[in-house]
Amino acid sequence: MTYLGNGQAPLLPSELSAPDGSAPAEQRTAPVIALRQITKTYRLGEVEVQALRGVSLVIERGEFVAIMGASGSGKSTLMNIIGLLDIPSHGRYWLDDVDVRNLDELALSRVRNRKIGFVFQSFNLIPRTTALANVELPLIYAGVKSKERRQRSEAALEQVGMTDRMHHLPNEMSGGQQQRVAVARAIVTNPSLILADEPTGNLDSRSSEDVMAVFADLYAAGRTVVLITHEADIAQYAERVVRVRDGLILSDERMVDATLARPSLGSAP
Amino acid sequence: MTWADNIGAALRGLNANKLRSSLTVLGILIGVAAVILLVAVGNGSSQAVQNKIKLLGTNTITIVNRGRFGRGPSTTGTQTQASTITAADVAQLEDPTQAPDILTVSPVITASETADYQAASTSVTVTGTTPTYMGAEDYQLEAGQQITSADVTNHALVVVIGQDLVTNLYEPGTNPIGTDISFGATQFQVVGVLANKGSSSGEDLNDVALVPYTAAEDQLTGYATSFTELIVQATSSKTVNAAENEASDILASDNHTSVADLPFTLINESSLLSTSASTNETFTVLLGAVAAISLLVGGIGIMNIMLVTVTERTREIGIRKAIGAPRGAILGQFLTEAVMLSLLGGIAGVTIGLIGSRFRIVGVKPVVAPTSIIEAFFVAVAIGVFFGFYPANRAASLRPIDALRHE
């Protein structure tokens, strides 16, 4: 039995389209992310905190975007909204041309499963579960059969250079290795968007370089990557940097040197 | 997500906290084993009563003078009561028009005697009665013949002896038929031997010697106007109560009194035993209820542990939700874990219960009721579902963002 019900077929590229049955995403020019006047207000006891005050942002397919900001700038809230973990107070959000406002809980979990690959600061691998099983997990929820699941997971692990650690448990791996497994888990469903929240925040500089090299590879392979960070040197890997402060976009610039730097990154060990 | 994935994940979860899981399983185990064992003990004691009912015959009523209750051997008739059971009473009770539900009436005179045969000697309860007595009390002949109506009319000195006399008086292999036994000074000729009847509530049913009541009056007790007791046999086990009412009505009118003031006690064996059987049933239900409570407590244990587990693994739940686990998958995962606990407890409990019921418990041989096994097992699993649902639902309802922030 699959939890997606109704014998929903395993994930296929042609299915990476909007649930409303519109044409496959590959043939479209629509942006991956389109945010319009997003606001988010929290209530902390008596006080209302405005985390986002009206953010509009468009991210096209194949872009590598770094969202930068100090803590408290609202960048984490923005990331949660983009990742469908949180809902905006106002404003509209189209993910792959689908207005997520109209999705119910089950549809949201399905979109998270198929269109978004998360990479977290604290790796967030499932404990006591091997690297391979962790990578297989999103495919399990997508209803992929076990043989195909295994093949795709092994391929994803190979892509991040973790084939030799496939059967290791998270607590048997270094931080950098865990994060690379987490990246494999994020890409295994072939999502429209890879969303990384401070992926190098818990890593030493050497491991950070390894992990960022993986993201650079993904970008080079045509993936859409959105990276949240407060470190300028990490943001340099991106081709576009969006700076956030006090719940508003402060600047949005394309880094010319990022495209120049990419070949050297691509050849990095 | 397939069930295999689910069960695998559940086993991993349980394995992560072995001590905690096994203690929770123990709670269910004790509950299930207790239900099976206690119901088996209750059942065993009911069945013992049922067997006793079968042994005694279910359609007789014993009528005795008030003040003498029970079936123990009586001493010779020293009746101080004014009202006595007489031959006239017997004749009326035997009348099918007055008492249509009474099949036979057997007057009984008992006497404790010493029986002698050659050099051997033993004490015995001699019962003076009529031919119908054997049928009413469910005695079977092993050899020879029974006392006849002619023997009663002729005051014949004949005796049908029980197995106790055979073993106590005769060398093994001797045929007692045709030999003479003396009770006191009088010799009785053995005409028949009764089949083995076993014992009932400590009373030895083989300690018996049947003689015609006329001969007993002549030779053993001296002539008395009253019988020790009457054995009234109803036409069937269903008419015992009707027969009892008819008998008490007839005796009341004979003695010019009301049924309530009757100087006799009518002992309805089957109603006594069925009262005791229903007491036993109540007892079984009570035992089962106590055991069921322990099963319930085991269920609360599951709920408790699952709540702890859900809290501990909130972050994991958040991760799973972030990577696309739908609500149903999380619900299924934790529900499977809870059911797994109760399932393991149920299986172990059935095993322990079955092993335990092979032993005698408080003097009762437990009789396992198959339904109690099935019920206890499925109730245990249902308890897992019921008490697992709340924690699992709590896990499934967590918002991913809150779950991910949980430390």
Q: Which residue of B has its CA nearest to A117?
A: B323
Q: What is the pLDDT of residue A148?
A: 95
A4, A129, A141: residue with CB nearest B323: A141
Cα–chain center distance at A82 = 9
Q: In angstroms, rounded to a whole number, what is the distance separating the alpha carbons of residues A166 and B378?
A: 40
Residues 87-116 of B with CB under 8 A from A: none
Write out chain A residues lying below 8 Å of B12, CB-based.
Answer: 128-129
**B343 lies in the same domain as B366:** yes
Lowest mean pLDDT among A120-129, B32-41, B195-204, B318-327: B195-204
Contact predicate B124/B209, CB 8 Å: yes
Q: Is residue B269 part of a domain?
A: no
Residue B337 sits in the same domain as residue B371 = yes
Residue B62 lies in a domain: no
Average pLDDT over residues B336-358: 93
- DSSP annotation string for chain A: --TT-TTPPPP-GGG-S-TT-PPPGGG----SEEEEEEEEEEEETTEEEEEEEEEEEEE-TT-EEEEE--TTSSHHHHHHHHTTSS--SEEEEEETTEEGGG--HHHHHHHHHHHEEEE-TT--PPTTS-HHHHHHHHHHHHT--HHHHHHHHHHHHHHTT-GGGTT--GGGS-HHHHHHHHHHHHHTT--SEEEEESTTTTS-HHHHHHHHHHHHHHHHTT--EEEEES-HHHHTTSSEEEEEETTEEEEEEE-HHHHHHHHHHHT--
B61 is a domain residue: no
| Domains of chain B: total | 2
CATH code for residues A61-84+103-266: 3.40.50.300
Residue B406 above 90 pLDDT?
Answer: no
Cα(B127)–Cα(B109) distance, integer angstroms: 6
The alpha carbon of residue B287 is apart from the nearest alpha carbon of chain A, in Å, by 41
Q: Does position A4 have pLDDT exceeding 50, yes or no? A: no
Residue B57, domain member (yes or no): no
Q: Do B240 and B332 belong to one domain?
A: no
b/e sequence A190-199, b meaning 16+ C-beta within 10 Å: ebbbbbbbbb
User: Among the listed ranges A116-120, A259-263, B340-344, which one has the minimum average pLDDT value?
Assistant: A259-263
Domain with B17 in it: 3-52+275-405
Last residue of a domain, one of B262, B284, B304: B262
Among B211, B228, B262, identify where a domain stops: B262
Q: Which residues in chain A have their CB less than 8 angstroms from residue B332's CB?
A: 3
Q: Which of the four pLDDT bands, split at 50, 70 and 90, describes residue B1?
A: low
pLDDT of residue B279: 82
**Nearest-by-Cβ selection for B3 from A1, A125, A138:** A1
Same domain, B203 and B93: yes
Q: What is the mean pLDDT of chain A?
A: 84
Question: Phi then psi for A186, rounded to 5 degrees?
Answer: -70, -30
Selection from B293, B378, B324, B289 nearest residue B42 by Cα: B289
Residue B342 in domain: yes
Residues B102 and B250 in one domain: yes
- B145: tokens are 């013949």
Distance (Å) from the C-alpha of residue B327 to the closest C-alpha of chain A? 7
Residues B162 and B237 both lie in one domain = yes
Q: Does B10 contact chain A (CB < 8 Å)?
A: no
The DSSP element (H or E) to which B191 belongs, if any, is strand B186-194
**Three-state SS for B205?**
coil
Least confident among A256-265, B202-211, B285-294: A256-265
Q: Does B326 touch chain A (CB under 8 A)?
A: yes
User: What does chain B come to in residues?
Assistant: 407
N-terminal to C-terminal alpha carbon distance within chain A: 43
Q: Is B270 a residue whose pLDDT tops 60?
A: yes
Are B188 and B126 in contact by the 8 Å Cβ rule? The answer is no
Smallest CA–CA distance, residue A150 to chain B, in Å, is 13
Q: How far is A267 from chain B (nearest CA, A)?
A: 30
> Any CB–CB contact under 8 A between A185 and chain B?
yes
Check whether residue B180 and residue B314 sit in a common domain. Answer: no
A185 contacts on B by Cβ (under 8 Å): 323
Q: Give the minimum alpha-carbon distance from B237 to chain A in angstroms, rounded to a whole number.
A: 59
User: What is the DSSP pairing of strand B209-212 with strand B120-129?
Assistant: parallel
Tokens found for residue B94: 């035997």
Identity of the residue in B318, B324, B404 whose CB atom sits nearest the CB atom of A109: B324
How far is B337 from B20, CA to CA, in rounded Å?
A: 13
CB spacing of B324 vs A138 below 8 angstroms:
yes
What pLDDT digit, counting tens, does each position of B77-111 carry? 444 444 577 777 888 888 888 888 888 888 888 88
Tell me what pLDDT residue A256 has: 65
DSSP B257: S
Q: What is the pLDDT of residue A1?
A: 41
> Shortest Cα distance from B338 to chain A (angstroms)?
19
Chain A contact for B322, CB < 8 A?
yes
Cβ atoms of B72 and B229 within 8 Å: the answer is: no
Beta carbons of A126 and B326 less than 8 Å apart: no
Residue B59 located in a structural domain: no
Mean local confidence (pLDDT), B295-310? 92
Among B148-157, B199-208, B320-329, the least confident range: B199-208
Of residues A170 and B136, more confidently modeled: A170
B184 touches B115 (CB < 8 A): no
Contact B323 A106 (CB under 8 A): no
B391 is a domain residue: yes
B193 and B147 belong to one structural domain = yes
B172 touches chain A (CB under 8 A): no
Interface size between A and B, measured as CB pairs under 8 A: 78
Residues B174, B145: one domain?
yes
Provide the pLDDT for residue B272.
73
CA–CA separation, B297 vs B30, rounded Å? Answer: 10
Test mutation, A42, A109, A197, chain B, max B CBs within 10 A? A109
pLDDT tops 50 at residue A260? no
Round to whole Å and give the CA distance between B340 and B88.
75
Percentage of chain B with pLDDT > 90?
A: 28
Does the pLDDT of residue B71 top 60, yes or no?
no
Is B60 contained in some domain? no
- Whether B286 and B383 share a structural domain: yes
Contact A137, A185 (CB under 8 A): yes
Question: How large a percentage of chain B has pLDDT more than 70?
Answer: 91
Averaged over B171-194, what is the pLDDT? 87
pLDDT by residue (tens digit) across B252-261? Answer: 888 777 777 7
**B323·A80 Cβ contact <8 A:** no
Q: Do A126 and B319 touch (CB under 8 A)?
A: yes
Looking at the structure, do residues B87 and B193 belong to the same domain, yes or no?
yes
- Contact between A86 and B401 using a beta-carbon 8 Å cutoff: yes
Q: Do B248 and B292 belong to one domain?
A: no
Please answer whether residues A77 and A51 qualify as being in contact, where contact means their C-beta atoms are separated by less than 8 angstroms.
yes
Subunit contact A141:B327, Cβ cutoff 8 A = no
Q: What pLDDT digit, counting tens, does each position of B200-251 carry?
A: 555 677 888 999 988 888 888 777 667 888 888 888 777 888 888 888 888 8
Tokens 């119901």 map to which residue? Answer: B39
Q: Which of A128, A141, A189 minimises the CB distance to B325?
A: A141
Q: Under 8 Å CB-to-CB from B185, ≥6 apart: which residues?
A: none
**Is A169 within 8 Å of A129 (Cβ atoms)?**
yes
d(C-alpha B60, C-alpha B243), whole Å:
9
| Partner B contacted by A126 (CB < 8 A) | yes
Q: Among B207, B236, B262, which residue terminates a domain?
A: B262
